[in-house]
Amino acid sequence: MGSMMQLQQSFRGPEFAHSSIDVEGPFANINRDDWDAALASLLQVTPLFSHSLWSNTVRCFIISTDETQPEVDILVRNYSPKLQRVCETMGYFFQVVNFSVENERPLKDVRKWEIEKSSLVILLLHLTLPGFLLEDCEEAFLRNPEEKPQLIYHRKEDGRVSSVSVQQLIERITYMNKAKMIDHIGGVEEGAYEIYNCVEKIIKQDILGCEMTELEGKELDSKEESTAPEEEVFGDVLWDAHDEQEQMEAFQQASNSACELGFEKYFERLNDLVTAPAPIPPLLVSGGPGSGKSLLLSKWIQLQQRHSPNTLILYHFVGRPMSTSSESALIIKRLTLKLMQHSWLVSPLTLDPAKLLEEFPRWLEKLSARHQGSIIIVIDSIDQIQQAEKHMKWLIDPLPVNVRVIVSVNVETCPQAWRLWPTLHLDPLNSKDVKSLISAECNSANVKLTKEQEKKLERHCRSAATCNALYVTLLGKIIAHVGSTGNIDKTLEQCFQCQDTVSLYRLVLRSIQQSLQSDKEKGLLREILCVISVSHNGVSESELMELYPQLSSAVLASLVHSLHKMCLLTYGCGLLKFQHLQAWELVRLEYMEEGENTISAYRQKLVEYFTMQLSRDRVTWRSADELPWLFQQQSDKQKLRKCLLNLFVSQNLYKRGHFAELLSYWQLVGKDKSSMAAEYFDSLKEYEKSCEGEESMICLADLYETLGRFLKDLGLLSQAVAPLQRSLEIRETALDPDHPRVAQSLHQLAGVYVQWKKFGNAEQLYKQALEISESAYGAEHPRVARELDALATLYQKQNKYEQAEQLRKKSFKIRQKAARRKGSLCGFALLRQRALQLEELTLGKDTPDNARTLNELGVLYYLQNNLETAELFLKRSLEMRERVLGPNHPDCAQSLNNLAALYNEKKHYDKAEELYEKALDIRRRALAPDHPSLAYTVKHLAVLYKRMGKLDKAVPLYELAVEIRQKSFGPKHPSVATALVNLAVLYCQMKKQVEALPLYERALKIYEDSFGHMHPRVGETLKNLAVLSYEGGDFEKAAALYKRAMEIKEAETVLICGKATSRHSSSGDTFSLKSALSPHSFLEHGQR
């Protein structure tokens, strides 16, 4: 019984989170110390941001006059390639757009679109400013709500004065905003160089945020900073930012339509799925091509994010067949990593495609148990995944209780076995929705249809193919396009000849062709569409301009504008790709009538382009994505093998987690894992002979390390040791035995010994890596935390639980501090830019929208740890809401709640109490008794009372929390058990053990029924019951309960330290950062 004594110190309950910012949508309940969660939430609201904020292209829009065209020509010819390389090294494209002065044909819409998309606008002036450029200047410099970087170059000349229009424009711009100015006296060559220097600095600091990484350098070699930043967050997990961005943009594009198309009835069905009792199979959303499935799902996801902020929604939009977004292993890896990110797990994750697919259900089971809310997985166009039925077998297995899955399919291509699932079929649009969709397009172009024209359209759009959402959208765009200048009746007659979407796309394409001025432009249009259609993932504008040197940026901008406006092309991760499959089909039918010969010719053009890139040592993510895939499509095994043995191509694919793709290429070549490993090793040995000098040796060490990690992931442990050992030797010689890169080698080598179960060797290597990292970076750097994590996992494998726990706690404190100090580079930049954008929007009069914007600003500044500014905006929001809506409106309760959370954070508990009480009073009167917003305020006020020692005032609120959860989820939901345990803990603190006992017993029963008898929640509740029995003098019962609790704890440790994650079977090392901490470490990320 001696070991029971520790239980007397305190009761462990899964406690409510202690503070929260409450806003509508995905910013709800973010902890300002948890930058990963903050960024993850930010990524869910990409529609709030303009294209330029998310674009993977650094776009420079140049406005110049005849007088300054020489500087532009020099800048584009001499310095644009250098800026391109700067951007390429960080995974971005670089594009300069400049409309020549003599090109005065009507391109106003195109220029405006380019200004909107641009990352940076540059204005070059000398003495005069033509009047037609003034509108561009005002659009770019005076109407700039996003505060995008701007640069004005003004070449002055002794004895000559600039015109009044130039002087006035410069005065207006400098008065209005913060454009950088270059006043240049001298030649055009020097002027162009000055512009280049300034642009390079703006790109590095203001657009790509490079200055933040320099703070971490501590005078290390600059190459140290080029290591993948994701390794600090995910340990050894390989993460591709491009894949993630592609998904964010796909979601953004899918939800672009302002029309709901009668989706309300479908929303109800989707909501029913979420609330239905488990277990429940996936819901199938089916419909014909272009019926609006993606739009429906994206709109519903937005609604869920707004109304159910505790729900974690993971989505994946599958693009064109055979594109990266349709590769099953990458989809599963991405979903697993998103789950890990939300659970704060740092864990090795297998990259073997077969194991990844096999283990996903176990990960889902384990990670869903950690999440205190529902998890919804949405996969759009799942039937486009290669061998969908085979690779998505996990869908057939019973899902965890809090997980729901929704998949969309085309009716014709849905696998037979899935047709038995509950199905939501999208009906053709009714006449009201057709009219609404066409009216929306016409109104946007100020086009008015006659009653007769409307009747004709209504009669035409009655078949299944012609009342399809995409067909009707295209129809509306065609009418709107010709409405202001052309003959609508004639256009309608042409449209009525088109009985399906592909034929309507053909009409669109031919109208674009007819609008072009010359055969040269028509030929370029064909080339652009064909080369995009045969690529793996699309083609960037900068690549198109290199492929076709005769293509000017102005012509390309004009073509892309027309193709984008008419739903043929869109952007994804900086690449031009087809907006819909039917557009891709049309290009194949229209331009590739000769079939494989034409396709092969265009593929060969891309092969030659990317091969030339490799020959110039330009191995980018693009050449690694496209070239091996193109050889695979051509079945050219010899060239594919040669391409794969370009070590930098394979390294690029592997480091971005494209493991399955790499293996599939080698399988086509006919090599098994061992012979592939031998080929790589021989190739590296050969490459080593040509390496001279420190730089090339460092590069060689990186290649050896990548090969070692690759072989370890393949399970070839004995073969992995040699390249990792060689990487270590090179780094110790070329750099220094105490250099951080040596620590990296030691860490990777230790990982192999862990898998080999040679724990003594691994411990020694991890300790050396830890010592080097502490010496190089200081004791509180994330890389030190990484070594502590690794050692903790190792100790747990050896049953050294106390040592492991100490290291884990130390590691977490480091990570939390680092997050607070630095935040996420990307997240901070986005939050800062979004805040500036919103401030611009709040300068108008009092409106509910402006009040909501002020509230969001308060949240954004809170996330940036700027509590004083956050308080200012939250107060302004409250005051405006009280003026506009009245003091008892629910929106006022939101502002009160947020201010209370802020004061709670600042430890001004009396102020927080007063505001929470006001918010609670309003919400009790205005909202339903089970409304989530009421639950938030009840929860946070209850915890505040408890912290202030006002336990009697806390009890009724904890009881109300139980009541709300029972109404929301039913009496047997795990969330109810959590509320019961929290109430029981409170009773125990008040020495009311008799009242606490039945609450614990009921919670235990719910946890056992929901999660099984070996779940950690069951163990925690048993432990608390053991304390009650011990204090009541029933030592025998206490010992029995404590023994059961310890058995569960040990079983959990085996899961966490051993293999992945199932009550039945497992594989993969993992531990939770979160579980090692007190419940107060996160806001709203603990129990709810």
The arithmetic mean of pLDDT across residues 1064-1083, rounded, is 26
How many CA within 13 A on the CB side of residue 751? 30
Residue range 826-852, pLDDT digits in tens: 444 445 555 545 554 555 578 887 788
How many CA within 13 A on the CB side of residue 312? 25
* Better pLDDT: 143 or 199: 199
Judged against a pLDDT cut of 80, whether residue 426 lies above it is answered with yes
Strand segments (E) across 262-397: 283-287, 312-317, 345-346, 375-380
Q: Name the phi and psi angles at 424, rounded to 5.
A: -110, 105
Closest CA to 603 of 532, 522, 537, 526: 532
Which tokens sit at 461? 């759009």
Supply the pLDDT for residue 1058.
41
Which tokens sit at 464? 């299944």
Q: How far apart are CA 634 and CA 606, in angstroms?
A: 12
Q: Which percentage of the chain shows pLDDT scores above 70?
A: 83
* Better pLDDT: 293 or 320: 293
Please, which residues bridge with residue 16 across strands? Answer: 1087
Amino acid at 500: D
Which tokens sit at 690? 């040509």
Q: Which residue has the tokens 């709640």?
A: 897
Which tokens sit at 497? 């000849």
Which tokens sit at 279? 């277990």
Q: Which residue has the tokens 């093998």?
A: 641
Amino acid at 486: G
- Parallel, antiparallel or unpaired: strands 120-125 and 403-410: unpaired
Supply the pLDDT for residue 475.
93
Closest CA to 867 of 817, 835, 903: 903
Q: How far apart are CA 192 and CA 205, in angstroms?
A: 20
Cβ atoms 623, 546 nearer than 8 A: no
Supply the pLDDT for residue 642.
94
How many CA within 13 A on the CB side of residue 650? 30
Q: How many residues does the chain have?
A: 1088
Number of H helices, E strands in the chain: 48, 14
Cβ atoms 665, 644 nearer than 8 A: yes
Confidence of residue 636 (pLDDT cuts 50, 70, 90): very high
45 sits in which H/E element: none
Cβ atoms 153, 68 nearer than 8 A: yes
CA 683 to the chain's CA centroid: 36
Q: How far apart are CA 834 and CA 147, in angstroms?
A: 10
Residue range 780-803, pLDDT digits in tens: 888 898 899 899 989 988 988 888
Q: Which residues of 900-919 are buried (b: 16+ CB within 10 A; e: fewer)?
A: bbbbbbeeebeebbebbbbb
Q: Cis bond leading into 929, ω under 30°?
A: no
Q: How far apart are CA 964 and CA 295, in angstroms?
A: 33
Supply the pLDDT for residue 745.
93
Which tokens sit at 610? 């990317």
Work out the angle between the directed axes of helices 647-655 and 659-669 (0-180°, nearest 10): 140
Work out the angle between the directed axes of helices 501-515 and 469-483 (0-180°, nearest 10): 20
Which tokens sit at 144? 């700039």
Closest CA to 286 of 419, 97, 138: 419
Least confident of 498-512, 800-814, 1059-1073: 1059-1073
Cβ atoms 747, 763 nearer than 8 A: no
Cβ atoms 1061, 1068 nearer than 8 A: yes
Supply the pLDDT for residue 1055.
43
* Better pLDDT: 966 or 55: 966
Cβ atoms 168, 120 nearer than 8 A: no
Which tokens sit at 557? 């901008």
* 3-class secondary-structure state, position 779: coil
Cβ atoms 997, 1028 nearer than 8 A: yes
Supply the pLDDT for residue 1057.
44
Please, which residues bridge with residue 59 across strands? Answer: 95
Q: Which residue has the tokens 């050894």?
A: 236
Judged against a pLDDT cut of 70, whether residue 50 lies above it is answered with no
Residue range 962-1004, pLDDT digits in tens: 888 888 778 888 778 888 998 998 898 898 989 999 999 999 9
Strand segments (E) across 557-636: 569-572, 575-578
Q: Which percentage of the chain shows pLDDT scores above 90?
A: 38
Supply the pLDDT for residue 549.
94
Judged against a pLDDT cut of 90, whether residue 563 lies above it is answered with yes
1024 contacts: CB under 8 Å, gap ≥ 6: 11, 12, 13, 981, 984, 985, 988, 1000
Confidence of residue 470 (pLDDT cuts 50, 70, 90): very high
Supply the pLDDT for residue 227.
34
Residue range 71-107, pLDDT digits in tens: 999 999 999 999 999 998 888 899 999 987 655 545 8
Cβ atoms 479, 442 nearer than 8 A: yes
Q: How far apart are CA 407 and CA 415, in angstroms?
A: 12
Residue range 1012-1068, pLDDT digits in tens: 888 778 888 998 899 888 888 888 988 999 889 888 877 655 443 443 333 222 222
Q: Which residue has the tokens 């009840």?
A: 938
Supply the pLDDT for residue 682.
92
* 3-class secondary-structure state, position 711: helix
Supply the pLDDT for residue 1074.
27
Entry pTM? 0.73
Which tokens sit at 364? 């889902």
Q: How far apart are CA 974 and CA 987, in angstroms?
A: 20
Q: How far apart are CA 1040 and CA 1026, in angstroms?
A: 8
How many CA within 13 A on the CB side of residue 1047? 10
Judged against a pLDDT cut of 50, whether residue 218 lies above it is answered with no
Q: How far apart are CA 1085 and CA 1077, in angstroms?
A: 12
Supply the pLDDT for residue 300.
92
From edge to edge, which strands make up the β-sheet containing 93-98? 93-98, 57-64, 120-125, 150-156, 180-185
Supply the pLDDT for residue 23.
39
Amino acid at 819: A
Cβ atoms 378, 316 nearer than 8 A: yes
Q: How far apart are CA 746 and CA 790, in angstroms?
A: 12
The arithmetic mean of pLDDT across residues 578-583, rounded, is 93
3-state helix, strand, coil in the chain (%, to 5): 65, 5, 30
Q: How far apart are CA 921 and CA 121, in angstroms?
A: 51
150 sits in which H/E element: strand 150-156
697 contacts: CB under 8 Å, gap ≥ 6: 691, 730, 733, 734
Closest CA to 399 of 378, 425, 375: 375
Residue range 860-892, pLDDT digits in tens: 777 666 788 889 889 988 999 999 999 999 889
Residue range 382-416, pLDDT digits in tens: 988 877 888 888 888 788 888 999 999 998 888 88
The arithmetic mean of pLDDT across residues 542-566, rounded, is 94
Q: How far apart are CA 769 and CA 774, in angstroms?
A: 9
